[in-house]
Amino acid sequence: MEIKELIKAAKEASARSYSPYSKYRVGAALLTMDGKIYTGANIENAAFPAGMCAERVALFDAIKNGDNKFEALVIYAEGVNFPFPCGICRQVISEFTRDIKIIIARSEDEYVIKNISELLPDSFEFTI
């Protein structure tokens, strides 16, 4: 799958964002190793910690549906700055993969590509 197709899917998801407080509409598109795409949009709440970021919505949907092998994740939002994932999202992503390609886009032509290991070096790992 081409990067621009994934960015387009994330952009379409951002249109379904519920963001009445920040007005910052974020969409995500998660590509599995077998070619499925899961999308998500950020969902805000007046009790601010109760909201959810777009990338976690997409990731949790994939996990709920039994998919846990991921190739790429696009995070899309229009604006001056690139929509890098928050710290919580970085930790959640690293729980499921250390090899995923993260595409951070503010348009179909303006994006940067990182690996989750670059965005969250030395992530917390729980071992018993």
Beta bridge partners of 39: 29
For the beta sheet containing 70-76, the strands, ordered from the edge strand earlier in sequence to the opposite edge, are 37-41, 27-32, 70-76, 101-105, 111-115
**CA–CA gap between residue 43 and residue 119 (Å, rounded):** 23
CB distance 75 to 82 below 8 Å: no
pLDDT bucket at 128, cuts 50 / 70 / 90: low
DSSP line for 77-98: --SSS--PPPHHHHHHHHHH-S
Q: pLDDT of 44-92, one tens digit each?
A: 999 988 999 999 999 999 999 999 999 999 999 999 999 999 999 999 9
List, in order, residues 6 or more apart from 87 with CB less than 8 Å away. Answer: 120
Q: Does domain 3-119 have CATH number 3.40.50.300?
A: no
User: Out of 2, 5, 55, 118, which one is annotated catalytic?
Assistant: 55
> Which tokens go with 81?
């700055």
Beta bridge partners of 115: 101
pLDDT, position 62: 98
Sketch the domain layout of the chain as residue ranges. 3-119
* 55 assigned to active site: yes
